[in-house]
Amino acid sequence: MKAEMEYEKVMLLSGNEAIARGMYEAGVSVATGYPGTPSSEVIQEMIKLGMNAEWSVNEKVAFEIAYAAALSGLRAAAVMKHLGTHWIVDPLAVSAVTGVEGGLLVVSADDPYPYSSQSSTDTRNHARTVHIPVFEPSDPSEAKEMIKLAFEVSELIKLPIMMRYTARLAHGSAPVRIGNRVELERNAEFKKDPSRLISTAPNARKNIPLIFEKLEKARKLFEGEPWISFKEGSGDIGIIASGVPYLAAMEIAREMDLPLMKVSVSHPLPEKPVLEFISGLKKVIVLEDLDPIIEDQIIILAYNNGLKLEIVGKRSGHLKPYGEIGPDEIRGIFYRRKAVEEEIPRRVPQLCPGCPHRGSFIAIKRALSGRGIVLGDRGCYNQGGNLPLRAIDTAIAMGSSIAMAVGLARSGIREPIVAVIGDSTFFHAGIPPTIEAVISRSPIVIAILDNSWTAMTGHQPSPSTGLDSLGRPRPQLKIENLLEAIGVCNIKIVDPYNIREGENAIREAVRKAKESLIPSAVIFRRECALQAVRFGRWRRKVARVDQEKCSACKLCLTTGCPAIQISQESGKAEIDPMDCIGCSVCSQICPNGAIEVI
Amino acid sequence: MLSDMSKWSNRGDIMVDLVVCGVGGQGIVLISRVLARAALLSGLHVTVSEVRGLAQREGSVSSHIRIGDHGSLTIAEGKADAVVSMELVEAARNLRYLREGGVVVSNDYIRYHIPHYLGISKFPEREDLIKMIGKHRAYLVNARKIAESLGNIRVVNSVMLGAVYSTGVLPFSLKEITDAISESVPEKYRDVNISAFKLGMEAVRP
């Protein structure tokens, strides 16, 4: 929802917008991140608020930038989706050992369902692994206030803090009261402290016990409001909830008049009030998104204190150990759920009309003609794995395409092996595996789909864009120069809108890699069509189907272009002039020459 | 720290749950924004929960709008007062949220996805969709035709808003909802959107 929706200093803000606003009000000096749904709008909003916020090349670099700023006494934050949080655990653990000067906050967006992730993981586990507090807001208003408190707590105990939220909150909007920015007037000052900051094993052994002292101090702090709160109810069945599930729990508790406890910090758990709450109960229902982290601690707490109460949640089998906890899941504990009627098939997403990846994929498919293995990566081009295009065989994690291609070659697979990766993903995680491919003499083809943006997550600039988030010029990295420096052979740059050219380049690349035992590369280079049209760098044209020549073979539909539809009357192809931008890929596919681009 | 809803609910126990849905690019976010704005204008608390997946890329899009003093960001199955859809397949897909006696308002338009045409993953045909929706108090609106009569097919969302308003499910005055539309669209398109809203109202006679 848009930020300008103002009503008496109350604005309707999404979780992401509220988090950005919280950062602003908290006086954050340096903010970094890497785009990823559901967290992308946070950095975008901070940039709009005029803050010192910018995208980094990947999450680990983003975190280390923020960490250095916090060591220099400033308030700093790194924002990422759960998959990115996995990348930062190594330096995050050290930041707990060294401690921080200015407040340091990691905002980690989990995707329980998942709506837009290849896996679903609970990043609260990482906070526990590295021994730092983790906060869990329930709604946008609380998210904003919690950000401000996080910096205060971080500066009080000198530990980084993690705030874990979920996709539902990221894109859920509610009225939020707007506050002012605190003016901290701090200047960065890096104080040398070798016994802490040169974290060798002997120094680490000395500093690690301090983490636990800090955590115990924090635990005491968390034993009161606003970290925990109660709602009265009658009877001996109670609910303990955190995060978004708390909102649904509130409705059920009201409906059934049950006592309800909200826990906003799951590590370190404020054990004293939790123990007091469960002591008077026969049964407690624990509601939290993803892993049973609070639940497990309650089980231990009950055991250690000899309490004989029933603990209902994921361990008891009442809730699934995966997916979102919404009102239906909670109701399912109390009532039998009505069987869902026959599902309507899921809509299969496609590449956009005019997307350059379409031509690249068709070229790769044609060159390989049914042989070979195509390893995909993470980005818009995942839609190329959907029917009808089905042009990739895998989509795993950032940078996995190239590394797994090396793995297949090393396993003795003799078929052509093509790794397909986008420009932003290549910069994020594709460079080390490219080095691996060269030094391991892997005869693979690296196909780089360079559309010069991080397009999937809303067109953030990539190192190949040459512009920053405010559109100011900055160094533009050329992927071909990097590939050459690494030692990749036969680097060819082609236009994705020219299928024949791409097809020939892939054929040649397969041959060259096989002959030389050195990876070869084809760079499919053309700007994302949405951006090219938006900025007037592509003049829209329109493809038209000659109804006389069309034989209704539906071959054009196999390109997966959403602009092409089939007429109910004639069964022949039709192209929607509102959607089509005239890329001409379908006209190159049509065996009857029935599609003309005007 | 939670947003305090008691301040907002100055109109007693008004609680309305709406599911707004359609296909990416059909203006689901705009409709949600107008409804949320109207709620705030009328002094009611509101939350909007969006599921945006692949808006530009043919995905299903929906948002749950909860007006009044609620809790959960999402509506439980069988609890929505209305399902408002820009597309028939998505209307049918979201019927599971509708409560008994709830109302369905759908644009009379079907957007098939490509696998349907290739026979890989078939959607129900129009007659079947209408049968599914027809089990409830349902209104079909040919929003595109109405918008075309105004010479601007982009006002389909305002047509649908008028149709929904006409069913009586929205707890807003006519002024609140039309003000919300006026504030949500570019100035030069205000009049045509208000005309579209009025034609949408006339298209539904409950």
Closest CA of chain A from B96, distance in Å: 7
* Contacting residues of A for B112, CB less than 8 Å apart: 565
Cα separation values, A212 from A92, A153, A300, A576, Å: 16, 15, 19, 63
In the predicted model, what is the mean pLDDT of residues A503-509?
98
A52 near A62, Cβ under 8 Å?
no
Closest CA of chain B from A327, distance in Å: 5
Question: Phi, psi (5° rounding) for residue A511?
Answer: -65, -45
Nearest to A169 by CA among A227, A108, A119, A243: A243
Chain A contact for B10 (CB, 8 A cutoff): no
Q: Which two tokens stand for residue B78?
A: 């069988």
pLDDT at A5 over 60: no
A248 near A330, Cβ under 8 Å?
yes
pLDDT tens string B150-206? 999 899 999 999 999 999 999 999 999 999 999 999 999 999 999 999 999 999 987
CA distance A494 to A583: 15
pLDDT at A42 over 60: yes
pLDDT at A36 over 70: yes
Closest chain A residue to B56 measured between Cα atoms?
Answer: A352
Range list of β-strands (E), A465-594:
489-494, 520-525, 543-545, 564-566, 573-575
CA distance A364 to A329: 44
Q: Which CATH number fits domain A6-221: 3.30.2000.10, 2.160.10.10, 3.40.50.1100, 3.40.50.970?
A: 3.40.50.970
pLDDT at A377 over 90: yes
Cα separation values, A323 from A163, A166, A581, B53, Å: 20, 11, 39, 16
CA distance B82 to B133: 12
Chain B contact for A306 (CB, 8 A cutoff): no
Cβ atoms within 10 A of the Cβ of A84, count?
26
User: In the prediction, which pLDDT does A69 show?
Assistant: 98
Those of residues 207-266 in A touching chain B at CB distance below 8 A are 226, 244, 247-251, 254, 264
In the predicted model, what is the mean pLDDT of residues A212-234?
95
Answer whether CATH 3.40.50.300 is correct for domain A543-597.
no
Q: Which CATH number fits domain A356-534: 3.40.50.970, 3.40.50.300, 3.40.50.720, 3.30.420.40?
A: 3.40.50.970
DSSP assignments along A448-487, one per residue: EEE-SEETTTT-EE-TTT-B-TTS-B-----HHHHHHHHT
Q: Does the distance separating the beta carbons of B53 and A116 come in below 8 Å? A: yes
Q: Does the distance separating the beta carbons of A247 and B57 come in below 8 Å? A: no
* Contacting residues of B for A251, CB less than 8 Å apart: 70-72
Nearest by CB: B114 against A172, A344, A388: A388
Cβ atoms within 10 A of the Cβ of A395, count?
19
Binned at pLDDT 50, 70 and 90, residue A6 comes out as: very low
* Contacting residues of B for A177, CB less than 8 Å apart: 3
Binned at pLDDT 50, 70 and 90, residue A336 comes out as: confident
Chain B contact for A61 (CB, 8 A cutoff): no
Q: Does the distance separating the beta carbons of B71 and A254 come in below 8 Å? A: yes
The per-residue pLDDT string of chain B (206 residues; one tens digit each, 9 = 90 and over) reads 676 655 555 566 889 999 999 998 899 999 999 999 999 999 999 999 997 655 557 789 999 999 998 899 999 999 999 999 999 999 999 999 999 999 999 999 999 999 999 999 999 999 999 999 999 999 999 999 999 999 998 999 999 999 999 999 999 999 999 999 999 999 999 999 999 999 999 999 87
User: In the prediction, which pLDDT does B52 show?
Assistant: 67
CA distance B41 to B44: 8
Assign A390 to helix, strand or coil: coil
* Contacting residues of B for A328, CB less than 8 Å apart: 76-77
Question: Phi, psi (5° rounding) for residue A109?
Answer: -100, 110
B28-41 and B156-166 are packed helices; what angle lies between their axes, rounded to 10 degrees?
A: 50
Closest chain A residue to B93 measured between Cα atoms?
Answer: A344
Those of residues 137-156 in B touching chain A at CB distance below 8 A are none
CA distance B5 to A250: 12
Nearest to A423 by CA among A350, A505, A472, A496: A496
Burial class for A231, CB neighbours closer than 10 Å (0-12, 13-18, 19+): middle
Nearest by CB: A344 against B33, B89, B117: B89
Closest CA of chain A from B196, distance in Å: 21
Q: Does the distance separating the beta carbons of B46 and A174 come in below 8 Å? A: yes
The domains of chain A are located at 6-221, 228-334, 356-534, 543-597
A422 near A447, Cβ under 8 Å?
no
Q: Does the distance separating the beta carbons of B33 and A2 come in below 8 Å? A: yes
Nearest by CB: A345 against B49, B50, B123: B123
pLDDT tens string A188-215? 999 999 999 999 999 999 999 999 999 9
The model's pTM is 0.96
Decide whether A6-221 matches A356-534 in CATH topology: yes
Those of residues 307-336 in A touching chain B at CB distance below 8 A are 326-328, 331
Closest CA of chain B from A347, distance in Å: 6
* Contacting residues of A for B74, CB less than 8 Å apart: 168, 248, 326-327
Q: List the Cα angle B88/B58/B79 in 5-degree steps.
A: 45
Closest CA of chain A from B200, distance in Å: 24
A231 near A279, Cβ under 8 Å?
no
Nearest by CB: B47 against A173, A264, A562: A173
Q: Which two tokens stand for residue A198?
A: 């040169």
Beta-ladder partners of B80? B98
Percent of chain A predicted with pLDDT > 90:
96
Q: Tokens 């090393």 map to which residue?
A: A410
DSSP single-letter state for residue A382: G
* Contacting residues of A for B51, CB less than 8 Å apart: 115, 171
In the predicted model, what is the mean pLDDT of residues A63-80?
98
User: In the prediction, which pLDDT does A335 show?
Assistant: 84
Q: Which residues, 6 or more positions from A23, have their beta carbon under 8 angstroms from its beta carbon?
A: A31, A42, A46, A51, A53, A77, A147
Beta-ladder partners of B65? B18, B48
Q: Which residues, 6 or more positions from A488, have their beta carbon under 8 angstroms from its beta carbon?
A: A434, A437, A438, A446, A518, A519, A520, A521
Closest chain B residue to A352 measured between Cα atoms?
Answer: B57
User: In the prediction, which pLDDT does B70 show?
Assistant: 84
> Testing the interface with B: which of A113, A146, A263, A344 to mutate, by most B Cβ within 10 A?
A344
| A31-A34-A38-A42 Cα dihedral, nearest 10 degrees | 20
pLDDT at A1 over 50: no
Helical (H) or strand (E) element with A505: helix A499-516
Q: Which two tokens stand for residue A184?
A: 């901290």
CA distance A252 to A244: 14
Predicted complex: ipTM over 0.90:
yes
User: In the prediction, which pLDDT does A3 show?
Assistant: 41
Nearest by CB: B78 against A7, A338, A565: A338
In the predicted model, what is the mean pLDDT of residues A451-471?
96
CA distance B14 to B68: 6
User: In the prediction, which pLDDT does A7 show?
Assistant: 41
Beta-ladder partners of A566? A573
Closest CA of chain B from A142, distance in Å: 5
Nearest by CB: A171 against B50, B117, B124: B50
Q: Quickly name the fold that domain B15-111+124-203 has.
A: Pyruvate-ferredoxin Oxidoreductase; domain 3 (3.40.920)
User: What is the pLDDT of chain A when averaged over all its residues?
Assistant: 96
CA distance A446 to A528: 20
* Contacting residues of A for B118, CB less than 8 Å apart: 387-388, 554, 557-558
Q: Which two tokens stand for residue A342?
A: 């026959």
Nearest by CB: A352 against B2, B56, B113: B56
CATH architecture of A228-334: 3-Layer(aba) Sandwich (3.40)
Nearest to A583 by CA among A542, A551, A549, A550: A542
User: In the prediction, which pLDDT does B7 show?
Assistant: 58
Is the omega angle on the peptide bond into residue A268 within 30 degrees of 0, that is, cis? yes
Nearest by CB: B36 against A12, A177, A226: A12
Instruction: Tell me the count of A-B CB pairs closer than 8 A.
Output: 162
- Kindly give the pairing relationship between strand B15-23 and strand B60-68: antiparallel
User: In the prediction, which pLDDT does A463 show?
Assistant: 97
* Contacting residues of B for A169, CB less than 8 Å apart: 73
List b or e across B102-127, with b for residues whose CB sees 16 or more CB atoms inside 10 angstroms. bbbbbbbbbbbbbbbbbeebebbeee
Q: Does the distance separating the beta carbons of B77 and A171 come in below 8 Å? A: no
Closest CA of chain A from B36, distance in Å: 8
Chain B contact for A385 (CB, 8 A cutoff): no
A543 near A400, Cβ under 8 Å?
no
Q: Which residues, 6 or more positions from B162, have their beta carbon under 8 angstroms from its beta carbon?
A: B196, B197, B198, B199, B200, B201, B202, B203, B204
- Kindly give the pairing relationship between strand A573-575 and strand A104-110: unpaired
Q: Does the distance separating the beta carbons of A347 and B60 come in below 8 Å? A: yes
Q: Does the distance separating the beta carbons of B74 and A350 come in below 8 Å? A: no
Which amino acid does the sequence have at A185?
E
Nearest to B181 by CA among B78, B44, B32: B32
- Kindly give the pairing relationship between strand A460-461 and strand B98-107: unpaired
| Residues making up chain B, counted from first to last | 206
Nearest to B32 by CA among B45, B47, B43, B44: B47
Q: Does the distance separating the beta carbons of A142 and B3 come in below 8 Å? A: yes
Query: Radius of gyration over alpha carbons of chain B, in Å?
Result: 17
CA distance A382 to A400: 13
Q: Which two tokens stand for residue A594?
A: 């029935």
CA distance B18 to B97: 9
CA distance A52 to A490: 41
Cβ atoms within 10 A of the Cβ of A300, count?
12
Q: Does the distance separating the beta carbons of B37 and A5 come in below 8 Å? A: yes
Closest CA of chain A from B50, distance in Å: 6
Cα separation values, B203 from A35, B156, B177, B194, B199, Å: 44, 13, 17, 14, 6
Q: Which two tokens stand for residue A288?
A: 């939290």
Q: Tokens 């590394």 map to which residue?
A: A403
